Amino acid sequence: MPDSVPDTILFDGVCNLCNGFVQFVIRRDPAGHFRFAALQSDAGRALLLAHGLTPAAVVADPESVLLLSGGQLYSHSAAVLRIAEGLGGVWRVAGLGRVLPAAWRDAAYRFVARHRYRWFGRQESCMLPTPALKTRFL
């Protein structure tokens, strides 16, 4: 993953689980290999449209985390596994999850995504990054 072109994680900005995942990545990515955009933000909507997706369809699908890497958009379990691998260290082991059929991984992903608001709650608005993290958010 080249430092000059950081990967972008698109996430549901009102989802507590998704915001927790973003905080998890930030704590484990001090070099700033990843940047972030809420699906509800102007930047997030523009990235989705640039890849042929409508924001309403993505949030309803249900999608909660997408990864834009090397000009390609990854979704569902593929996005989560690639993000974990990108964190390096022990998190690369998550890549072993690829041995499971994608249909199984994605079914589990969709199950959690469908229930995320009920299980983890939601916020009224997207989180605001701290001044120190503002440059990593689009």
pLDDT of residue 1: 44
Looking at the domain assignment, is residue 138 inside a domain? no
This prediction has a pTM of 0.81
Looking at the domain assignment, is residue 101 inside a domain? yes
* Mean pLDDT on 4-25: 88
pLDDT of residue 56: 65
Using pLDDT thresholds of 50, 70 and 90, give the confidence band for residue 2.
very low
How many domains does the chain contain in total? 1
Using pLDDT thresholds of 50, 70 and 90, give the confidence band for residue 126.
low
Looking at the domain assignment, is residue 88 inside a domain? yes
DSSP secondary structure letters along 115-132: HHHHHH-B-SSPPPPPTT
Looking at the domain assignment, is residue 1 inside a domain? no
Please say if the pLDDT value at position 63 is more than 70: no
Q: Is 13 exposed, middle or buried (0-12, 13-18, 19+ CB in 10 A)?
A: buried
Please say if the pLDDT value at position 7 is more than 70: yes
Q: How many CA atoms lie within 13 A of 109 on its CB side?
A: 22
Handedness of CA 42, 48, 51, 53 (dihedral sign): negative
Percent of the chain topping pLDDT 70: 83
Looking at the domain assignment, is residue 2 inside a domain? no
Looking at the domain assignment, is residue 29 inside a domain? yes
* Mean pLDDT on 87-109: 87
Cα-trace Rg, the chain: 14
Looking at the domain assignment, is residue 123 inside a domain? yes
- Which domain covers residue 118, as residue numbers? 7-133
